Each structure stands twice: as C-alpha cells, then as structure tokens.
Chain A
Amino acid sequence: MTMDDNKLTFDKLTSDLTHHIRINKGFLIWMGFLTISLFICLYAYTIQLRTGLGVAGIRDYVTWGMYLANFVFFVAASLIGMLVSAVLGLIGMKWITPITRIAETIAVAFAAVAGLVIVSDMGRPERLAYVFIYGRPQSPILWDVTVITTYFVLSLLLLFLPLIADMAIIHRKVDNLPSWLKPVYKSLSLNFTDNPQQNKIINRSIRILLILLIPAALSIHTVTSWLFAVTSRAGWDSTVFGPYFVSGAFVAGSAAVIIAMFFFRKNYKLQDYLTDVHFNNMGKVLATVSLVYLYFNINEFLVPGYKLKRADAVHLQELFAGKDAILFWLIQVGGLLLPILFMLFRRFRKPLPIMLISVAVLIAAWFKRYLIVVPTQEHPFLPIQHVPQNFMHYSPTLIETLITIAPFIMVLIIITLISKFFPVIPLHDKKKKKGIDHIKFD
C-alpha cells in the first residue's frame, strides 16, 4: 500500500472509481463512431449472406482465410482472463487485483465475439445448430464450440460475481447516476448487504470459477490449435501446437490488457489506482510469456527446418525467403524479438512505452495467426488441375476485410459499455483492503 493510498477516504475512493459512470459527449461520439462503423461492416456481411462466400477471397485451395485467422486471434485474446485472474490471482499476486476486472472484461468481450467470427466463415449460418445436432464427439469442432461456450459463461460469471458488491455500493452511495441506471444497478446488486453468508457464497463461487477457468481456458486454445494440428499439412502438423497456441494467446492477451489499462487510466483518471507499478509488472508478465512464445517459435521452425520434409521445405521457404517473408520477419522481429529486448529495461515498462510495445505485439499477433492459417493452404498435397489463378493465391477482398473488422468493433463496443457503466477497478475489494471492512448499508 502506498502513502497516497492511505490518504484516500471512503468517499473519495467511491467517487474516484465511479465518477466516469455518466453519459458524456466523448462517450456518445465514440459510441456513435463505433456504431456507424459496425453498420458499414454489417452491410458488407449482408452482401455475403445474399451472394455467398464467393464475395470473400477464399477459394477451393485456401478455404480458411482471414475469418479463421481472426477466429484464432479472438480465442487467443480471450485467454488472458484465465492468466490474470486464475493463475496470477490464485498464486496470490496482490498487485493483480485492480487489473482482474479489465482482464475479465477483455475475456468476456473476445469470447463472446469469437463465436460470431466463426459464423462469418459459414456459407449457411442458419445451419449453426447442426454442429450440435449432428456433431461427432470425435471431432475437435464439436469440442471447440463446447469449450468456447463454456469458457464464455465462466468468464461472464467471474465478471459478474465481484460486481454484485460494487453494484450495491454504487446504487446506494453514488448520487450523480443517470436516473434510469439506478434500478438496473439495484437489481444487479441482488440486495447485497455485505452479510457474511452472502460474502461466503460469493467467495466460494469465485474460487470454484477460478479453478474451473484454468482447464477451460487451456482447452479452448488447445482445441483450437488441434483444429489445425490434427491434419497433416506442413506448418500445422505439429505436436507442440497446443502449448504454442496457448503461449501465443497469453502474449496477445497481456498486450490487450496493457493497452486497455493505459486508456482506462487516462480517460477515467485512474492514475492513483493503475500505477507505474502495475504497468511495470504487466510488462514483466508480457516479457515472460513472450519469451515462452519465442521458445515455442524456435521449436516450431527449427525442428521441421532441420528435417526438411518436402512439404515443410516449401512452406518454410515461403515464410523465410519467399512470398510471405517480409510479413514473417516483421512479425517475428518487430512483434516478438524487439519487444522482448525492450521490455528487459525498466524504462520501457513505463505506461506509454509499454503501451506502444503492446500495440506492436498485438498487431503482430493478428498477422502471425494469418501466417499460421493461410500460406500452407496455397500448397496443397493434392493440387487440382487447371485451377484459376485465384485458387492458388489467396487475396482477401474488401467485403471480407470489412467483415473481419466487424468483430473488433463489437469487442470495442462491449469493452466500452462494460467499462463505462461499471467500475473498472473492483470497488468492494479496494475498500476491504483499506480496512473499511463493513460498509454501512441502510
């Protein structure tokens, strides 16, 4: 606890963490911008719905294009909830508590939208239910939809449980709320009066969720990696794909959390709560998971590169020196090696530099998924004779790009709404730490 912290009073704490809960001009402009952009992208989707998947660049060779890269990215980003809340939380890292809600918000937003991303890759989305009706329990696709749904529900509950107490405080103690919001908070607070039995239920539920979250999160990204690894394509045919994807997911998710921390701290004036210490520590987390990811990268490329089976040779050639080389090296150097190097120094783990590094890492993370998904499909084991040029070289179309952007806008909308209408930092938790153990409720 810092000196500043001690000076904070009960009321200041509440007002600091909730003053942003109001509808102001900046919020309306931002939401307006997001909504209009979303409608443009959704219009592109209606074209795809009417005309069919042919409006995208995917063809008979590259059937998994940007949509699938996007899907892997979204699943990856959602994994951070598990790393921050469950792993770091359960092993007792105290500094992590103010960040847990940010991480859970990101997890919920990305997990909720990941399912929609998959739908964007379906020619007949109205048949989505067939996955459950006709799904084979042997198929990773059935496992994938199962674990993603489960993980989403777990994350949502984990976001909601600590909010109950916060809602109770807000609807009683904060006066400047928009009038229509009060009843919403009241019903969400579930008549919480901070009595021991209620607290016991909440704490026990949270502990169960945290424990369940770990296998669920590991499963969603491991299963997503198996969608690739269970086929014998070069670049996918790998036994370390599970941990490779999971570590990559932590990289993307940590970067997303740091970026979110930076903007919340600035826009919602949370400098006293999200301090340099938190950025420094999250920087260390990002550096650590990046190193683990680097380790798996070396495995992924060195081992097939040493044996150089024919298809692997073609694949690696394209990545290292061929068509995709520029993108590949930009990602590996600019999104992995350099960030790791920078992050070793304390001064690059200050809020602004670590945020910029995280942006680079996050962008690279998206394109890395593109390189994992797409290039190998351009070299099928059984090429078709006399195919048109556009089978052999995947190039995304404008409509496809807009449809790929749509989920990002949705994620931003979800994160904006959650962070705007609920305290970004767990309020009840913070009060407890201040020794204000029992809040007087009327």
Chain B
Amino acid sequence: MRFKKLLFILSIISFVTRISAQTWVVPDDQKAVVAPVKFTADMQKQGEQQYLKNCQSCHGLMGKDNWAKLTPPPGDLSKEKAQVQTDGELFYRITAGKVPMPEFRNILTEDDRWSVIAYLRTFNPKYIQPTPVAKAAFTGRIVTLALEYSDPMKKIVVTASEQLKDGQTGLAAGVEIMLFVKRYFGRMQVGEIKTTNAQGKALFEFPADLPGNKDGFVEISAMVNDPKSVMKTTPANASFAIGIKTDKPGLTETRAWWSTRDHAPIWIILTYTLSVIIVWGFIIYIVYSIMKIKKLSREV
C-alpha cells in the first residue's frame, strides 16, 4: 500500500519536473529583486520608447493583443499572465531571454530594462511598486584601458589603469586583455588573451598580413576579459596604420550584375534599351500603318 503511494507521488514529481523543464523558471532570489529607484513618469516615457524599439515587433502594441505568431507565443504583456509576475521576474526574463525571446543583457542597460518595466506597469492599475532598494556601492575593480602602437617593438601595447581605494589612479596588473580588429560584420580577435604585467601592460603582436583601409589604417579595440562581470571596465579604441594598404572599391561601387541600378553593367543597359527601342519602334510603326489604312479607303 505504502509502496503504491510512493510510486504515485514519484510519478507526479516526474510529471511536474518534466513540465517545468519546458516552462521558463525564474530562480527565487531573482524573483525577489526590486527596482533600485522609484518609477517616474520620465522612466515610463523612456521605457515606452525602448518598448516600441525592441519589443513591439514580437509582443505587439500594449493591450492590442497583436503579438507576432511565434511558438511559444510572446503574448500581450499588459495581460494578467505577465502582470502577476514580480518586477524581479520580469527583469530576469528580459535580461536572460529564452529562445525565441532575445536576451537583452547586452542590448539594454539595467536602467533601460527597469524603464521598460516601469512602462509595462502603467497598464496595470492594481500595481503598487515595492519599496526600491538602491544597489550596494560597487566594491570591485574599476579598470580603464589605453592603446598605443610601439614602432620600435612592432607591437600593440595595452595599458590598464585602475581607480585605487584612495581615489588615486594606478597601473592594473593581472587583468586579462582581449584585442580585436574591426572587419566586415563585426570584430576579429587578434592573438590570445593576455594578462597585464606588473606595469599594467600587455603586448600584442599584430599579424603582418591583415588588410587595412587605403592608408593602411586598421581599427583596434582592447577589452577586459571579465565574463562574470565582477569589474567595471572601459575598453579602448584606436586606429593605427599597421595594416596592408588596400584600395578595393566596395561591392556595389563598381558596375556589376549584383550592383545597384546606377551601377548596372553598360552592356546590359545597352542590350535592354536597344531591344526595347527596336521592338517598340516596330510596334509604333505598325500602329501608325494601321491608322493609314483608314485614309487609304478614299483613294480607290
């Protein structure tokens, strides 16, 4: 008897976990998160703009039930299903996303995300904002990077400096640096991640065979490798004339099949226009002849 009961309970548990594996669970500590400030009319207005820019394409206009037909359905965020959730839950979902809902961690700043929530809440008359809890002061490292190119060494030098406790600025050792060079459609990493030495410097060899613009310039950026976001970091960008000079016209700047109308190959323009002119020339000639038939009747 007891065994049967146990089996029953077990099967229920497995059923529930199987379901929750598909649903979108927010960790408890995240549920409890509240906004750092009291929502203001300004935030709501800002949030509306962010919403229209980033969310409306899927969720539709608030209260209009005109969300995009995706699976799972995005739903109208003014409705009960979204509005019964805590601010923390909403914040977590917007931050983390879940396919096909994008993650906004790197797209919207925290302030922006809270503004959107402030806006979402304007559609819930019953909503009362929990007392805001200001964020604890930041205690981690605050690192700023600088970039230069050393001609004698033929190396790119990244210098990391950090804000010290006493308000002074010092060189930051032991910071992991990533170096990128800009290319079509994004950035390409140059070399491996390097750690700054006691002088706060990391040195990167720049490959000799990378193309630059027509003066050889390449756009370099240096970033701190901080996957857990324990620091506050400011990346550095600079461009140096260390690439191979390349002066290739853009893909749509010369005449080609694939180019724009203004850059159609001459022979195509000629063939097309001539064919049209010749054939329609004959057509016009024939229409003209037909009109002549009428006049000719009197001359018999």
Q: Say whether A209 faces chain B, with CB atoms less than 8 Å apart.
A: yes
CB within 8 Å for A157 and B286 given contacts A192-B293, A198-B297: yes
Report which residue of A136, A208, A209 has the largest number of chain B beta carbons within 10 angstroms of its beta carbon.
A136
> How many whole Å from A203's CB to the nearest CB in chain B?
11
Q: In the assembled complex, which residues on chain A have CB atoms less than 8 Å from the CB atom of B286?
A: 157, 205, 208-209
Whether A198 contacts B100 by the Cβ 8 Å rule is: no
- Distance between Cα atoms of A191 and B196 in the complex (Å): 98
Whether A385 contacts B100 by the Cβ 8 Å rule is: yes
CB within 8 Å for A137 and B297 given contacts A208-B286, A216-B279, A388-B70: no
Q: In the assembled complex, which residues on chain B have CB atoms less than 8 Å from the CB atom of A205?
A: 286, 289-290
Q: Say whether B269 faces chain A, with CB atoms less than 8 Å apart.
A: yes
Whether B294 contacts A134 by the Cβ 8 Å rule is: no
Q: CB < 8 Å: which of B70, B260, B279 contacts A136?
A: B260
- Distance between Cα atoms of A176 and B286 in the complex (Å): 33
- Distance between Cα atoms of A408 and B69 in the complex (Å): 33
- Distance between Cα atoms of A197 and B299 in the complex (Å): 10
CB within 8 Å for A388 and B300 given contacts A192-B293, A212-B279: no
CB within 8 Å for A146 and B276 given contacts A153-B283, A157-B286, A208-B282: yes
Tell me the chain A residues, 145-204 only, with Cβ under 8 Å from chain B.
146, 150, 153-154, 157, 160-161, 164, 190-193, 195, 197-198, 201-202, 204
Whether A138 contacts B100 by the Cβ 8 Å rule is: no
CB within 8 Å for A135 and B261 given contacts A153-B283, A388-B71: yes
Whether B290 contacts A161 by the Cβ 8 Å rule is: yes
Q: In the assembled complex, which residues on chain A have CB atoms less than 8 Å from the CB atom of B258?
A: 138
> How many whole Å from B296's CB to the nearest CB in chain A?
5
- Distance between Cα atoms of A209 and B286 in the complex (Å): 9
Whether B279 contacts A150 by the Cβ 8 Å rule is: yes
Chain A residue at minimum C-beta to C-beta distance from B276: A146
Chain B residue at minimum C-beta to C-beta distance from A54: B69
Q: In the assembled complex, which residues on chain A have CB atoms less than 8 Å from the CB atom of B290?
A: 157, 160-161, 164, 190, 201, 205
Q: In the assembled complex, which residues on chain A have CB atoms less than 8 Å from the CB atom of B259?
A: 138
Q: In the assembled complex, which residues on chain A have CB atoms less than 8 Å from the CB atom of B297?
A: 190-193, 195, 198
- Distance between Cα atoms of A198 and B300 in the complex (Å): 10
Q: In the assembled complex, which residues on chain B have CB atoms less than 8 Å from the CB atom of A160?
A: 290
Whether A197 contacts B283 by the Cβ 8 Å rule is: no
Q: Say whether A386 faces chain B, with CB atoms less than 8 Å apart.
A: yes
Whether A137 contacts B264 by the Cβ 8 Å rule is: yes
- Distance between Cα atoms of A197 and B294 in the complex (Å): 11
CB within 8 Å for A198 and B293 given contacts A208-B282, A208-B286, A386-B99: yes
Q: In the assembled complex, which residues on chain B have CB atoms less than 8 Å from the CB atom of A195?
A: 296-297, 299-300
Q: Say whether A143 faces chain B, with CB atoms less than 8 Å apart.
A: yes
Q: CB < 8 Å: which of B70, B100, B296 contacts A197?
A: B296
Q: CB < 8 Å: which of B269, B283, B289 contacts A137?
A: B269
Whether B300 contacts A193 by the Cβ 8 Å rule is: yes
> How many whole Å from B273's CB to the nearest CB in chain A?
8
- Distance between Cα atoms of A157 and B296 in the complex (Å): 19
Whether B293 contacts A154 by the Cβ 8 Å rule is: no
CB within 8 Å for A138 and B265 given contacts A202-B293, A204-B289: yes
Q: Say whether B272 faces chain A, with CB atoms less than 8 Å apart.
A: yes
- Distance between Cα atoms of A193 and B289 in the complex (Å): 16
Whether A385 contacts B294 by the Cβ 8 Å rule is: no
Whether B100 contacts A190 by the Cβ 8 Å rule is: no
Whether A386 contacts B71 by the Cβ 8 Å rule is: yes
Tell me the chain A residues, 197-238 only, with Cβ under 8 Å from chain B.
197-198, 201-202, 204-205, 208-209, 212, 216
> How many whole Å from B19's CB to the nearest CB in chain A?
19
Q: Say whether B2 faces chain A, with CB atoms less than 8 Å apart.
A: no
Chain A 122-144: CB-based contact to B (< 8 A → 1; otherwise 0): 00000000000011111000110
Whether A136 contacts B264 by the Cβ 8 Å rule is: yes
- Distance between Cα atoms of A118 and B290 in the complex (Å): 31
Tell me the chain B residues, 150-205 only, with Cβ under 8 Å from chain A.
none
- Distance between Cα atoms of A388 and B68 in the complex (Å): 11
Q: Say whether B280 faces chain A, with CB atoms less than 8 Å apart.
A: yes
- Distance between Cα atoms of A256 and B52 in the complex (Å): 54
Q: Say whether B292 faces chain A, with CB atoms less than 8 Å apart.
A: yes
> How many whole Å from B76's CB to the nearest CB in chain A?
18
Q: Say whether B268 faces chain A, with CB atoms less than 8 Å apart.
A: yes
> How many whole Å from A204's CB to the nearest CB in chain B?
7
Q: In the assembled complex, which residues on chain A have CB atoms less than 8 Å from the CB atom of B123?
A: none
Q: In the assembled complex, which residues on chain B have CB atoms less than 8 Å from the CB atom of A154?
A: 283
Q: In the assembled complex, which residues on chain B have CB atoms less than 8 Å from the CB atom of A138?
A: 257-259, 261, 264-265, 268
CB within 8 Å for A212 and B282 given contacts A198-B297, A205-B290: yes
- Distance between Cα atoms of A191 and B285 in the complex (Å): 20
- Distance between Cα atoms of A201 and B298 in the complex (Å): 15
> How many whole Å from B8's CB to the nearest CB in chain A?
35
Tell me the chain B residues, 248-262 only, with Cβ under 8 Å from chain A.
257-261
A interface, CB within 8 angstroms of B:
134-138, 142-143, 146, 150, 153-154, 157, 160-161, 164, 190-193, 195, 197-198, 201-202, 204-205, 208-209, 212, 216, 385-386, 388-389
B interface, CB within 8 angstroms of A:
69-71, 99-100, 257-261, 264-265, 268-269, 272-273, 276, 279-280, 282-283, 285-287, 289-290, 292-294, 296-300
| Selected A-B contacts with CB under 8 Å, 7 pairs | A138-B261, A150-B279, A195-B300, A197-B296, A198-B293, A385-B99, A386-B71
Known contacts A136-B264, A386-B100, A389-B71; 19 additional CB pairs below 8 A are: A137-B261, A137-B273, A138-B265, A138-B268, A150-B280, A150-B283, A154-B283, A157-B287, A157-B290, A164-B290, A192-B293, A192-B297, A197-B296, A198-B293, A201-B293, A205-B289, A205-B290, A208-B286, A212-B282
Ranked 6 nearest A-B pairs via Cβ: A191-B297, A136-B261, A190-B294, A195-B300, A205-B286, A137-B272
